[in-house]
C-alpha cells in the first residue's frame, strides 16, 4: 500500500495524502480509560468533527479492511505485535510509544508496505481535513481547526512542536498542519517535509530540527522548497562549533558548523531563527505578507524614541532604513505639522498619530513612493486600515503597538490585519519578509557531497610537497626552492631575489609559525645566521620569494563528516580568525554560488576596486577542493594567498591527510 510520487529534484518521497487527509482511521488501544492515549485521541477527533470513518479494533483483532491511518496507542511491548497484525492493511501507522532503537531496543519493522510515523511521536494535525490525530493535551484548544494560514510545521520534537502550534494560535496565527516525526524509524523530518510540500502545498514551511542527521536529505528538502517557491523557516537545535580537523587549522576555525549551516539555508532562500518566538513570528510574516521586493524599510511613528528603537531593530535584522528623498519628504510634510520630521523614521508627532485620516495619507504616500519595500507603523491596534497593514499588502506593512499582550491583537490578525503587540515582534515579522541575502537568492542545483576515497595519502605531506600538490591543482604558487645548507639558502636567495622567507620543511600537520619555523624579511646579510639557526633542528628549509601582496586572502577546504567537503575563503593573513571576514559553505553548492557570496560579503563593498577577485578566489578554493577529492586529504588550505599583479598567488600551503 505504500504510495510514492516522483519528484524531479531528488529521490522519491512518500505520498502523504492518506496521512494528512485520511478517509479512515483506526484507533488501536488505550480507549478503556478516559485518560488513555486512545481515548484522548478519539475525543479530539470527535470534538474536531472529523468527517472520516473511525474504527476502534482491539489490539489483538487486527484490521478486517484497509485504512489510511492506524494510531497505535498501545504500550511499547505490544507495538511490534500490533504492527505485524495490521501491516499491509494500514497505509500509515502512527506509533505513540517510545523505548525502541533510541534506548537500545530492537527497531520496529514492517514487511507488507505499512509506513511507520514515529515511534515516540505525538502524531499530527491537519486543519483543512479536521484530522486531529494526536493525544497531546495542547490540541484540546485547537479542535476548532481554524487553519487558513497556509503554514505547516514539521518538528522532530512532538511536545515542542505542539507548543509552537499553540503559541502561534495565541497571536491569531493558526497553522494549517503539524507533524511530529519522533524517532523516525521510516520517515525522517526532512522527508516528511518534502511530502508535505507535495501533498499540502503550504505557503510557508516551518521546521524544528534537534540536529542535522543527514545533510543530503536536508539539502534535498531546501532545494525542493526553493523550486516550489515555498519559504522555509527553521529553528535548529544542537548547533555547535566544529572541532579542528588538524592542529591550528584556519579552515576549521572559520568554517564552523553554525557558519556552514547558515550559508546552506541562505543559499536556498531559507531562514534560520534562534528561538521558538522567532519561528512563530517569521512564519506569521511570510504567511500573511509574503516576500518583499527589497530590504528598504520605512518607519512611521508618533514617538521619536520608538522610531529610533525601530530603526535599530530593523538594522540589526539586516534591513536598510534609508533617508527619504527631498521630493518625498516634501509630499509627506504637506500632510504634517511643521514640527514633524519626514527623513525616516517619519515622526508625525504625538498630536498627529491619533488622526487616522492624516495617518492614512502619510502611509499611502510612503507606501506608493517606490522608496521603501516594507513599512512599520507604530500606533494603535485599530489603525491597521489607516496604515494599510493587511494580509497581502504590497509593500508589506505592519502596525506595532507598544507593550500589549498577543491576545489583544489576535482578533486583528484573524481578520487579516497585521498588528503586533510590541515593537520587537513587529520588526521581526517585517524582517522575515525581506528577500534572501545578496548572493543567495538563486538556489543552486544540489550535487553529491559525500567523502572522497580515503587512503590515497599514506602520511601528511611535507610543506614542500604541499606546495607542489597545490601548484599541480592549478593554483599559482610563489617561486620557491629547497635548501639543506646555508650555501644553498644563499644561492636560492640570489636566484629568487632578496628578501626571502625561510620556512622549515616540516609535515603540513605542524603549524610552522607556532613552532618557530618561519622567518620573514630575510636578506643576503641576515640569511647565514637565520638559516643556520633553523637548520640546527635537522629539518630542511624552503626558501620562498617574499612578495608584497595586497590584499592578503585565504582559501581552504576541510572534509566534514556531515557536510562532506566544506570550502572557506575570505580575508587572510596572520589574523584570519580575528578578522572573521570569510564565507564557508558545503562545496556541493558550487563554485558560481561561492563566488556570488564572496562578492556580496567582501569585494562588492568597494565597487569597482576588486572586480574579478571573487571569481578568482572561488576558483582557487574549488581547485583546492578538487585536490582534496583526488588525494583523500582531510584538509587543504592556503594562507595567505596574495594578489600580485591582479593574479592570486599562494604564499603558503598545507595538505593534511
Q: 109 in a domain, yes or no?
A: no
- Pair 514, 415 in one domain: no
**pLDDT value at residue 116:** 96
Number of structural domains (the chain) is 2
**pLDDT value at residue 327:** 98
Mean pLDDT of 422-431: 96
For the chain, what percent of residues have pLDDT higher than 90?
Answer: 76
More confident residue, 452 or 309: 309
- Pair 393, 489 in one domain: no
Q: How confident is the model at residue 1 (pLDDT cuts 50, 70, 90)?
A: very low
Q: Which residues, 6+ apart, have CB-to-CB distance to 371 below 8 Å? A: 296, 298, 322, 324, 325, 328
- Pair 327, 414 in one domain: yes
- Pair 299, 412 in one domain: yes
CATH at 363: 3.40.50.261
- Residues 192 and 186 sit within 8 Å (Cβ to Cβ): no
Q: How confident is the model at residue 258 (pLDDT cuts 50, 70, 90)?
A: confident
Residue 232, pLDDT > 80, answer: yes
Mean pLDDT, the chain, whole residue set: 89
Residue 248, pLDDT > 60, answer: no
More confident residue, 8 or 98: 98
Backbone φ and ψ of 67, nearest 5°? -130, 160
Residue 510, pLDDT > 80, answer: no
Q: 385 in a domain, yes or no?
A: yes
Instruction: Provide the 3-class DSSP secondary structure of residue 494.
Output: helix
Q: 231 in a domain, yes or no?
A: no
Q: What is the value of pTM for the model shown?
A: 0.87
Q: Which of residues 518, 545, 572 is at a domain's end?
A: 545
Q: Which of 280-284, 458-462, 598-602 has the highest mean pLDDT?
A: 280-284
- Residues 114 and 88 sit within 8 Å (Cβ to Cβ): yes
Residue 162, pLDDT > 90, answer: yes
Residue 356, pLDDT > 70, answer: yes
More confident residue, 183 or 457: 183
Lowest mean pLDDT segment, chosen from 47-51, 134-138, 555-559, 643-647: 643-647
Q: Which of residues 545, 563, 585 is at a domain's end?
A: 545
Q: How confident is the model at residue 283 (pLDDT cuts 50, 70, 90)?
A: very high
**pLDDT value at residue 259:** 84
Residue 224, pLDDT > 60, answer: yes
Terminal-to-terminal C-alpha distance of the chain? 48
Residue 45, pLDDT > 90, answer: yes
CATH at 503: 3.30.1490.20
Q: 228 in a domain, yes or no?
A: no
**pLDDT value at residue 326:** 97
Residue ranges making up the domain that contains 520:
479-545
**pLDDT value at residue 448:** 40
Give the residue ranges of DSSP H helices in 92-214.
158-170, 189-200
Q: Which three cell numbers stand for residue 461?
A: 605531506
Q: How confident is the model at residue 535 (pLDDT cuts 50, 70, 90)?
A: very high
Mean pLDDT of 551-570: 91
pLDDT tens digit string along 99-125? Answer: 887 767 788 999 999 999 999 999 999
Q: 336 in a domain, yes or no?
A: yes
Provide the phi-psi class of 385: left if phi over 0, else alpha when psi is between -120 and 50, else beta. alpha
- Pair 424, 297 in one domain: yes
Strand order, beta sheet including 24-28: 53-55, 24-28, 67-72, 90-95, 115-117
Residue 507, pLDDT > 90, answer: no
**pLDDT value at residue 105:** 76
Q: 17 in a domain, yes or no?
A: no
**pLDDT value at residue 442:** 43
- Pair 337, 400 in one domain: yes
Mean pLDDT of 546-575: 87
**pLDDT value at residue 372:** 98
Q: 325 in a domain, yes or no?
A: yes
Mean pLDDT of 290-299: 97
Q: 35 in a domain, yes or no?
A: no
- Pair 428, 502 in one domain: no
Q: How confident is the model at residue 351 (pLDDT cuts 50, 70, 90)?
A: confident
C-alpha distance from residue 493 to each of 214, 362, 513, 537, 545 (Å)? 51, 72, 20, 21, 8
Q: Which of residues 377, 412, 432 is at a domain's end?
A: 432
- Residues 555 and 609 sit within 8 Å (Cβ to Cβ): no
- Pair 401, 309 in one domain: yes
**pLDDT value at residue 439:** 54
- Residues 289 and 399 sit within 8 Å (Cβ to Cβ): no
Mean pLDDT of 253-271: 84
Mean pLDDT of 280-295: 97
**pLDDT value at residue 250:** 59
Residue 453, pLDDT > 90, answer: no
**pLDDT value at residue 92:** 98
- Pair 378, 495 in one domain: no
Going by the DSSP 8-state scheme, the letter that residue 183 receives in this structure is T
Residue 655, pLDDT > 90, answer: yes
Backbone φ and ψ of 188, nearest 5°? -80, 165
Smallest CA-to-CA distance from 120 within 136, 96, 103 is with 96
- Pair 356, 415 in one domain: yes
- Pair 416, 296 in one domain: yes
CA 398, CA 396: separation in Å to the nearest integer?
7
For the chain, what percent of residues have pLDDT higher than 70?
Answer: 89
C-alpha distance from residue 655 to each of 283, 455, 624 (Å)? 44, 14, 9
- Residues 134 and 122 sit within 8 Å (Cβ to Cβ): yes
Mean pLDDT of 505-530: 80
pLDDT tens digit string along 63-91? Answer: 999 999 999 999 999 999 999 999 999 99
Residue 179, pLDDT > 70, answer: yes
CA 95, CA 116: separation in Å to the nearest integer?
7
Mean pLDDT of 27-37: 93
CA 99, CA 218: separation in Å to the nearest integer?
26
- Pair 495, 421 in one domain: no
Residue 456, pLDDT > 90, answer: no
Question: How many CB atoms within 10 Å of residue 466?
Answer: 27
**Helix (H), strand (E) at residue 45:** helix 37-47
Amino acid at each position: 500500500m505504500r504510495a510514492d510520487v516522483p519528484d524531479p529534484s531528488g529521490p522519491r518521497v512518500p505520498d502523504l495524502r492518506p496521512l494528512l487527509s485520511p478517509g479512515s482511521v483506526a484507533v488501536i488501544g488505550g480507549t478503556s480509560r478516559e485518560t488513555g492515549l486512545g481515548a484522548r485521541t478519539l475525543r479530539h477527533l470527535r470534538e474536531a468533527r472529523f468527517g472520516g470513518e473511525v474504527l476502534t479494533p482491539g489490539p489483538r483483532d487486527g484490521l478486517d479492511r484497509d485504512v489510511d491511518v492506524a494510531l497505535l496507542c498501545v504500550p511499547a511491548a505490544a507495538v511490534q505485535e500490533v504492527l505485524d497484525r495490521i501491516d499491509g492493511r494500514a497505509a500509515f501507522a502512527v506509533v505513540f510509544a517510545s523505548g525502541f532503537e533510541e534506548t537500545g531496543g530492537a527497531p520496529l519493522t514492517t514487511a507488507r508496505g505499512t509506513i511507520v510515523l514515529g515511534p515516540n511521536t505525538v502524531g499530527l494535525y491537519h486543519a483543512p481535513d479536521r484530522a486531529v490525530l494526536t493525544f497531546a493535551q495542547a490540541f484540546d484548544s485547537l479542535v476548532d481547526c481554524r487553519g487558513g494560514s497556509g503554514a505547516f510545521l514539521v518538528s522532530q520534537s512532538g511536545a515542542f512542536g505542539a507548543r509552537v502550534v499553540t503559541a502561534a494560535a495565541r497571536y491569531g496565527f493558526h497553522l494549517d498542519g503539524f507533524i511530529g516525526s519522533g524517532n523516525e524509524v521510516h520517515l525522517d523530518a526532512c522527508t516528511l517535509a518534502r511530502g508535505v510540500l507535495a501533498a499540502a502545498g503550504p505557503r510557508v514551511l516551518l521546521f524544528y530540527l534537534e540536529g542535522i542527521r543527514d545533510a543530503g536529505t536536508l539539502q534535498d528538502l531546501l532545494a525542493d522548497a526553493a523550486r516550489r517557491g515555498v519559504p522555509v523557516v527553521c529553528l535548529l537545535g544542537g548547533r555547535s562549533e566544529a572541532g579542528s580537523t588538524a592542529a591550528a587549522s584556519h579552515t576549521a576555525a572559520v568554517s564552523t558548523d553554525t557558519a556552514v549551516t547558515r550559508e546552506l539555508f541562505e543559499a536556498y532562500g531559507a531562514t534560520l531563527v534562534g528561538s521558538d518566538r522567532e519561528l512563530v513570528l517569521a512564519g506569521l510574516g511570510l504567511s500573511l505578507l509574503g516576500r518583499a521586493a527589497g530590504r528598504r524599510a520605512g518607519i512611521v511613528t508618533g514617538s521619536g524614541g520608538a522610531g529610533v528603537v525601530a530603526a535599530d531593530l530593523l538594522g540589526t535584522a539586516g534591513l536598510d532604513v534609508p533617508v527619504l528623498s527631498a521630493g518625498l519628504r516634501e509630499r509627506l510634510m504637506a500632510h504634517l505639522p511643521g514640527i514633524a520630521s519626514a527623513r525616516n523614521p517619519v515622526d508625525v508627532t504625538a498630536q498627529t498619530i491619533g488622526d487616522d485620516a492624516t495617518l492614512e495619507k502619510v502611509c499611502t504616500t510612503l507606501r506608493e513612493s517606490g522608496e521603501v519595500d516594507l513599512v512599520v507603523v507604530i500606533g494603535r491596534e485599530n489603525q491597521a486600515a489607516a496604515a494599510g497593514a493587511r494580509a497581502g499588502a504590497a509593500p508589506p506593512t505592519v502596525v506595532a503597538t507598544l507593550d500589549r499582550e498577543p491576545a489583544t491583537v489576535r482578533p486583528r490578525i484573524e481578520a487579516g490585519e497585521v498588528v503586533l503587540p510590541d515593537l520587537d515582534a513587529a520588526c521581526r515579522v517585517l524582517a522575515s519578509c525581506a528577500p534572501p541575502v545578496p548572493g543567495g537568492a538563486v538556489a543552486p542545483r544540489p550535487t553529491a557531497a559525500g567523502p572522497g576515497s580515503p587512503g590515497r595519502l599514506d602520511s601528511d605531506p611535507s610543506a614542500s610537497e604541499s606546495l607542489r600538490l597545490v601548484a599541480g591543482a592549478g593554483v599559482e604558487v610563489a617561486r620557491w626552492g629547497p635548501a639543506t645548507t646555508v650555501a644553498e639558502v644563499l644561492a636560492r636567495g640570489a636566484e629568487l631575489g632578496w628578501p626571502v622567507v625561510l620556512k622549515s620543511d616540516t609535515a603540513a600537520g605542524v603549524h610552522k609559525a607556532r613552532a618557530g619555523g618561519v622567518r620573514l624579511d630575510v636578506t643576503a646579510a641576515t640569511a647565514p645566521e637565520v638559516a643556520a639557526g633553523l637548520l640546527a633542528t635537522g629539518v630542511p628549509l624552503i626558501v620562498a620569494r617574499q612578495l608584497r601582496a595586497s590584499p592578503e586572502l585565504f582559501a581552504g577546504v576541510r572534509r566534514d563528516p556531515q557536510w562532506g567537503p566544506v570550502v572557506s575563503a575570505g580575508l587572510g593573513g596572520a589574523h584570519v580568525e580575528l578578522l572573521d571576514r570569510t564565507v564557508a559553505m558545503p562545496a556541493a553548492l558550487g563554485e558560481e554560488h561561492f563566488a556570488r557570496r564572496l562578492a556580496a560579503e567582501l569585494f562588492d563593498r568597494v565597487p569597482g576596486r576588486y572586480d574579478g577577485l571573487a571569481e578568482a578566489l572561488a576558483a582557487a578554493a574549488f581547485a583546492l577542493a578538487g585536490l582534496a577529492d583526488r588525494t583523500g586529504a582531510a584538509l587543504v588550505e592556503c594562507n595567505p594567498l596574495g594578489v600580485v599583479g591582479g593574479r592570486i598567488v599562494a604564499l603558503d600551503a598545507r595538505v593534511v591527510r
